Amino acid sequence: MNKILLIYNPNAGKKNIAVHLDKIIDIFASENKLVTLFRIGDNNNIDLADIIKNGVFDGVVVCGGDGSVNSVAKIILDIGANIPLGIIPNGTCNDFSRSLGMPNDILRCARLIAQGNITETDIGFIKGKDSIFVNELAGGVLVSASFSTDQNMKKLFGPLAYYMTGIGQLANIKPFELTIETPEKTYTEQALVFVVLNGTDISGFSNVIKEALMQDGEMDILIFKNTNPLEITDTLFKFVTGGNFRDENVVRIRTHSCKIFCKSDITTTVDGERGPDLPLELEMKQKALKIYY
């Protein structure tokens, strides 16, 4: 019988995971898998790394948002555990699981993971910051909007709340000079926002870069250049609606590593959580993590 560690965040998304836990455990049991539960909590002083390292688990499953997935993925990589990670999406955006092609339904995801199929995915490493990104790293206006968006708006409008808040801030923001150095070329732009993607989705918006691959060892970078409010509103609308996203106001870069510099103090986010300060040095490691799918 396989042993699975199921890690869940009771405060993620709509905070409704507790009502699904018994059914999830039953789904795994039906596939001859024994589940051990671990609750992520503010007052939980138990070292999760020690549990994963010493628990003789065949796999780890996270039920939560992208931030929870990032934390557990980093532990698996740090301790060198050669075990797959499964994702049951229960956050606000669930970008990583959707980029992997997993369904949004919690129980459907559990059934897929319980079948035990395994693939591999790239992971972005932030050098010198003791940090990774599983799906995205970003900086600029839409990033600061994600931290100022009202929680009630998130509940009512979901990912669209980030876009609505960001558009409302456009009239008051200032561009910043951004430099991104890659092994192939150096880019310097007056920018409003930049996005580094491993997958296809960001902030709940699907297929932002339809052709993005998560096993090619490369990251996709978008720099949104400074322009007039009408043009940038149109550009951002194309961005969040997942259309055929080609725009003269956006610089597109594909590379396996880069350095990012900015003289201004701008907010960054890593997989939906507040990220490190610039400058940053990023490297995409190919097929670094095993994933249930």
CATH number of the domain enclosing 88: 3.40.50.10330
CB 132 within 8 A of CB 74: yes
pLDDT score for 231? 75
Amino acid letter for position 177: E
Statement: residue 13 has pLDDT above 90 = no
Any domain includes 268: yes
Which range is most confident: 117-121, 161-165, 174-178?
117-121
Percent of the chain with pLDDT over 90: 58
Any domain includes 126: no
Statement: residue 166 has pLDDT above 60 = no
pLDDT score for 40? 85
3-state secondary structure of 80: coil
pLDDT score for 91? 84
And the tokens for 289? 């993590």
Residue 153 banded pLDDT, cuts 50, 70, 90: very low
Residue 52 banded pLDDT, cuts 50, 70, 90: very high
CA R_g for the chain: 19
pLDDT score for 159? 45
* Residue finishing a domain among 116, 144, 161: 116
Query: Lowest-confidence range among 17-21, 24-28, 64-68, 230-234?
Result: 230-234
Domain count, the chain: 2
CB 65 within 8 A of CB 91: yes
DSSP 227: -
Any domain includes 178: yes
Percent of the chain with pLDDT over 70: 80
Strand pairing partners for 47?
A: none
CB 195 within 8 A of CB 225: no
Domain identity same for 153 and 201: yes
And the tokens for 270? 């890593």
CB 264 within 8 A of CB 177: yes
pLDDT score for 20? 92
Any domain includes 277: yes
Residue 192 banded pLDDT, cuts 50, 70, 90: confident
Report pTM.
0.86
* Residue finishing a domain among 88, 116, 144: 116
- Mean pLDDT, range 25-37, rounded to an integer: 96
* 97: phi then psi, degrees, rounded to nearest 5: -65, -35
pLDDT score for 234? 72
Render pLDDT for 70-85 as a digit per residue (tens, 0 to 9).
999 999 999 999 999 9
Render pLDDT for 205-224 as a digit per residue (tens, 0 to 9).
666 777 788 999 999 999 98
Query: Lowest-confidence range among 104-113, 148-157, 239-248?
Result: 148-157
* Residue finishing a domain among 54, 88, 116: 116
Any domain includes 121: no
State the residue for tokens 């199929």. 117
* 63: phi then psi, degrees, rounded to nearest 5: -110, 105
Measured between alpha carbons, how far is 215 from 147 in angstroms, rounded to an integer?
Answer: 30
State the residue for tokens 């079948």. 115
Domain identity same for 105 and 154: no
Statement: residue 154 has pLDDT above 50 = no
Statement: residue 69 has pLDDT above 80 = yes
Domain identity same for 69 and 168: no
Any domain includes 124: no
Would you tell me how many other CB atoms lie within 10 Å of the CB of residue 34? 13
| End-to-end alpha carbon distance in the chain | 20
Domain identity same for 76 and 148: no
Which range is most confident: 124-128, 164-168, 242-246?
124-128
> Exposed/middle/buried for 270, CB within 10 Å: 0-12, 13-18, 19+?
buried
- Mean pLDDT, range 274-280, rounded to an integer: 94
And the tokens for 196? 């580094």
Q: Which domain holds residue 279?
A: 132-287
* CATH number, position 145: 2.60.200.40
* 115: phi then psi, degrees, rounded to nearest 5: -70, -20
Taking alpha carbons only, the member of 193, 192, 208, 5 closest to residue 93 is 208
CB 16 within 8 A of CB 102: no
State the residue for tokens 């948002």. 65
Statement: residue 141 has pLDDT above 70 = no
DSSP string, 160-226: HHHHHHHHHHGGG---EEEEEE-SS-EEEEEEEEEEEESSS-BTTB--TTTT--SSSS-EEEEEEE-
